Structure 1
Amino acid sequence: MNMRLVIFLFFFLLPCPVHNFHVSYTKIAVEQNIAVMNVRFFTDDLELALQRRFNLTDFKLSATPLCDSLYLLYFNQHFELHNNGSVIRPTLLSSGIDKDMWWYQLQFSSPQPMQHLSIKNTLLFDVFDDQKISFRLCTFPLKKWNPSTLFTAQSAINFLAHNCSAIFTTGHGAAKSILSPVLWNKVA
């Protein structure tokens, strides 16, 4: 009887994956010439991506200038926000942990009002074949969040076959919002 208990405890205590799916959550709020983005990842997924990208061992995320700099380098290689055809690079405002998720808040500033936005997001596609992105956009002064949209690498490939780019049109002064299909381009 004791042997069964030992075997049960052995298998029960074996490390198992924290989660069996890979998703990031992104919200972008746009007002005039400013966009603020909140993005969340499972901590272990983002740590693995940064370990692979920068050839690090035993790397753990923390809210330090070094970790934030590594993330921003990785982010700029995998995320692009274009306004009227020009790439806008973000400023990292803050970062931190919330349970098993790691989050970042970034700000994009444009010299022109943000009226015609296009986005490329390949964050974590280089690490996980089943990576998904949940995305929401809000334009102000409307103060209404568009419904969440979930993208996978395969849906991006299918989208690429029929469209050459994705555009968010916020209208003049962000008075109206039209959400077109979004391009999440998987790097081949």
Structure 2
Amino acid sequence: MNTIIAILICLTTTVKHDFHTSITNAEYNPKTQSMEIAMKLFTDDLELTIKNKHEVILNLNSTSELPEADSLIYNYVIDNFSIQSGKKSVSPTFVGKEIENGITFIYLEIHSFPVAKELLVRNTVFFDTFDDQSNIVNIKLDGELESAFLKKGQETELVQF
């Protein structure tokens, strides 16, 4: 009986998903004049995408994690995610990552973020891996929250405050 319970617990704690969605939260910090960004990605989707692109296995959150994992993840993210303020395109810097229960949180920051009433958001993360991938981007600026829902064929959205 204990064996059956242990097996059921293992099966229910494994992250298995039939949908492909990421959530990105970006919030402007007026004290530091920077845009603080947190991306929430399924770890298995991230590992598969990097494996397909670079033919390497990241082994995230293990003792055998690839030493260049952070660099590969950062380069992939900045190739597929951007926030354009006014006519100025700005690149985020990599702050770090955390992995918890099959979810990878990627932290980015855009220093000296030029605040504008319109932001052009692009998020094509995992579009190269999954046809049904959708990416939700929530942006909080001066206490106001706006969201963009992006998918293949609609890779960018103009967010107005």
- Same topology, TM > 0.5: yes
SS at match of 2:60: coil
Query: Which amino acid is 2:86 matched to?
Result: N
Shift of 1:145: 3.4
Partner of 1:182: none
Correspondence for 1:114: 115
> Which residue of structure 1 lines up, in the alignment, with residue 58 of structure 2?
59
Look up the equivalent residue of 1:22 and give its one-letter code: H
Matched, 1:76 2:78: yes
Indicate conservation of the 8 Å contact 2:22/2:42, yes or no. Answer: yes
Provide the residue aligned with 1:41 in structure 2.
41
Contact 1:34 1:114 in 2 (8 A): no
Residue in 1 that maps onto 2:125: 123
Q: What is the match of residue 159 of structure 2?
A: 168
Where structure 2 has 5 or more consecutive residues not aligned to the other structure, the ranges are 1-10
2:27 matched to 1:29?
Answer: yes
* C-alpha spacing 1:100/1:119, structure 2 compared with 1 (3 Å): same
- Structure 1: any 5+ residue segments left out of the alignment? 1-12, 158-164, 170-177, 179-188
Question: Can you list the C-alpha shifts for 1:8-31, whole angstroms capped at 9, x where unaligned?
Answer: xxxxx9xx9811111111111024
The structure-2 alpha-carbon separation of the partners of 1:138 and 1:17, relative to structure 1 and needing over 3 Å to count, comes to closer
Alignment RMSD (CA, Å): 2.6
Q: CA deviation at 1:150?
A: 3.6
Tell me which structure has the larger Cα radius of gyration. Answer: 1
- Structure 2 length normalisation: TM-score? 0.76
* Deviating 4+ runs (over 4 angstroms): none
Cα deviation, residue 59, structure 1: 2.8
